Amino acid sequence: MRKKVAFYTLGCKLNFSETSTIARKFVNEGFDRVDFAEVADIYVINTCSVTENADKRFKSIVKQAQNSNPEAFIAAVGCYAQLKPQALADVSGVDLVLGATEKFKITDYLNDLSKNDMGEVHSCEIQEADFYVGSYSFGDRTRAFLKVQDGCDYKCTYCTIPLARGISRSDTVENVVNNAKKIASQNIKEIVLTGVNIGDYGKGEFGNKKHEHTFLDLVSELDKVEGIERLRISSIEPNLLKNETIELVANSNSFVPHFHVPLQSGSDAVLKRMKRRYLSKLYVDRVNKIKEVMPNACIGVDVIVGFPGESDDDFLETYNFLNELDISYLHVFTYSERPNTEAAEMSNIVPKNIRTKRSKMLRGLSVKKRRAFYESQIGKKRSVLFESENKEGYILGFTENYVKVKTPWNPELVNTIHEVELHEIDEDGLVRIELIKELVA
């Protein structure tokens, strides 16, 4: 009997790309992949350490697996598995915990699938995570996530990612392009470039610290690959988003006008305590440059509220800064203390009720910003890539500039790109559309 394996991914697009790569390894070695809600012999949970909530969810996911099959072998991999391996191994039902360098060799640890009394840990020192493993996802979604870079050399005072993933290192341009071609051959219409700090692409490309290539070199080569309808850049640091890259996107047939640029705070005093590598003026310059060459571009922003020492004035400075900026939506994170970070040792802790209040205010601002951006697109013609799910009688999709749209369910629309006209925003905050013509089947 072929063994069945199921996967659950917490966290970012990078985690999804790596889960997909690990899953293909299982399939290539004779396992059948099934949905996590189904009965499986092995459950693999790819963990995240970015938010406190992601940590807490781990136990409930383990219980979900145990409810499906009490005798199943349960393995934890990923960032939290590297940072807190013993804490995960101590969770009842967990049999195996693998760190940053071990996760891609998971099948080597599965000679015996008997349940363990105690979780077995194989976790490296993070300094050993100095080699690159390429990854990409397809088959899980309409779009694919293509990993181009891993790790980070930045020292932001709130962040555990360097401790979980190691130094900044990159895939070669040749490998990334070849992986993009493989994805395109699977009739996938959109590729999202992902990594920990993708703007730092090129560092460690050939096992050294030098930049043999830059991020601009990479996107220039990807823009030449045939068969890819859409290329989308995931989160990129403002200090690494160069004018030349913005102009390439503006003139590209493949790269779409959508940027996600972390800010974290609109207060320069807070940015300095966070040890970010820019101040608010540079951020304004990046947004203005994008809007200058792509007036209809979508710009998403990450922001952290409640960082130690963030006064009422600091928060209002952030709120007003974002309110006046021509951006499209926010991802709001409520600061939570992470062990082994500088910020966790800082004084002037912001009370949790105030953190919650500030988060609620910025989430409200995000709703207003998204609504205003959507309204600016009403009456325009856009191309939409349709998703694969039937959502209560509707099919959803995204325009090239990341407007989320809906139209009555039609299975023939799945994974096609159509020209549409954006009509009106409905009560769900989505844009109703009128189909005009099919652009790509």
Cα separation of 391 and 395, whole Å? 6
Q: Which pLDDT value is given to residue 140?
A: 59
Q: 């996760």: which residue's tokens?
A: 103
Note whether 239 and 272 are same-domain residues: no
Cα separation of 419 and 407, whole Å? 13
- pLDDT tier, 441 (very low <50, low <70, confident <90, very high otherwise): confident
DSSP 255: B
Residue 424 backbone phi and psi in degrees, to 5: -155, 155
Note whether 90 and 39 are same-domain residues: yes
Cα separation of 338 and 276, whole Å? 17
Note whether 98 and 49 are same-domain residues: yes
For residue 276 the two structure tokens come to 């970010």
Note whether 94 and 166 are same-domain residues: no
**Residue ranges in 203-351 assigned as alpha helix (H):** 215-222, 243-251, 268-274, 280-293, 312-324
Which of 124, 153, 185 represents a domain boundary (last residue)? 124
Stretch 257-268: mean pLDDT: 98
Q: Which pLDDT value is given to residue 250?
A: 98
Note whether 23 and 93 are same-domain residues: yes
CATH number of domain containing 192: 3.30.750.210
* pLDDT at residue 130 tops 90: no
Cα separation of 226 and 217, whole Å? 17
Q: 């069945």: which residue's tokens?
A: 4
DSSP, residue by residue, 50-63: SSHHHHHHHHHHHH
Which of 124, 195, 105 lies closest to 153 in space, CA to CA?
Answer: 195
Give just the sign of the alpha carbon dihedral 205, 245, 263, 78. Answer: negative
Which of 256, 275, 310 represents a domain boundary (last residue)? 256
Cα separation of 325 and 288, whole Å? 9
What percentage of the chain exceeds 70 in pLDDT? 97
Q: Which pLDDT value is given to residue 391?
A: 92
- pLDDT tier, 52 (very low <50, low <70, confident <90, very high otherwise): low
Note whether 311 and 335 are same-domain residues: yes
For 135-160, the pLDDT digits (tens) are 998 765 689 999 999 999 999 999 99
* pLDDT at residue 198 tops 70: yes
Q: Any residues with CB less than 8 A from the CB of 223 and at least 6 apart, and which? A: 231, 248, 252, 253, 254, 255
Cα separation of 53 and 10, whole Å? 10
* pLDDT at residue 229 tops 90: yes
For residue 324 the two structure tokens come to 């006046």
pTM over 0.85: yes
CATH number of domain containing 388: 2.40.50
Which of 15, 182, 173, 180 lies closest to 82 in space, CA to CA?
Answer: 15
Encoded amino acid at 132, one letter? Y
Note whether 317 and 224 are same-domain residues: no
More confident residue, 347 or 210: 347
Buried b (16+ CB within 10 A) or exposed e, 307-345: bbebeeebbebbbebbeebbbbbbbbbbbbebeebbbee
Cα separation of 109 and 197, whole Å? 30
Note whether 136 and 250 are same-domain residues: yes
Q: Which pLDDT value is given to residue 125?
A: 74
Q: Which of 14-28, 133-147, 171-185, 341-355 has the lowest average pLDDT?
A: 133-147
Stretch 5-31: mean pLDDT: 92
Stretch 183-202: mean pLDDT: 95
Residue 404 backbone phi and psi in degrees, to 5: -85, 125
Note whether 17 and 99 are same-domain residues: yes
Give just the sign of the alpha carbon dihedral 107, 111, 113, 119. Answer: negative
Q: Which pLDDT value is given to residue 100?
A: 87
Give the HSE-up count for residue 22: Cα atoms under 13 Å, Cβ half-sphere: 30
Note whether 398 and 367 are same-domain residues: no
Q: Which pLDDT value is given to residue 115?
A: 81
User: Angle CA(424)–CA(427)–CA(429) in degrees, nearest 5?
Assistant: 70
CATH number of domain containing 113: 3.40.50.2300
The whole domain housing 404 covers 381-440
Note whether 361 and 433 are same-domain residues: no
DSSP, residue by residue, 96-133: EEE-TTTGGGGGGG-S--PPPSS-EEE---GGG--S--
DSSP 198: G
Q: Which pLDDT value is given to residue 57?
A: 85
Stretch 17-30: mean pLDDT: 93
Which of 294, 321, 311, 248 lies closest to 401 in space, CA to CA?
Answer: 294
CATH number of domain containing 327: 3.30.750.200
Residue 163 backbone phi and psi in degrees, to 5: -75, -25
* pLDDT at residue 375 tops 80: yes
Stretch 375-393: mean pLDDT: 95
Cα separation of 249 and 231, whole Å? 9
Note whether 274 and 312 are same-domain residues: yes
> Is residue 81 a contact partner of residue 124, using CB atoms and an 8 Å limit?
no
* pLDDT at residue 55 tops 80: no
For 286-341, the pLDDT digits (tens) are 999 999 999 999 999 999 999 999 999 999 999 999 999 999 999 999 999 988 99
Rounded to the nearest integer, the mean pLDDT of the chain is 93
Q: Which pLDDT value is given to residue 377?
A: 97
Which of 52, 141, 39, 123 lies closest to 341 in space, CA to CA?
Answer: 52
Cα separation of 89 and 98, whole Å? 10
The neighbouring-strand residues paired with 332 are: 303
The count of domains in the chain is 4
For 67-104, the pLDDT digits (tens) are 999 999 999 999 989 998 998 999 999 999 998 889 99
Q: Which pLDDT value is given to residue 433?
A: 94
Which of 256, 276, 303 represents a domain boundary (last residue)? 256
Give the HSE-up count for residue 202: Cα atoms under 13 Å, Cβ half-sphere: 13
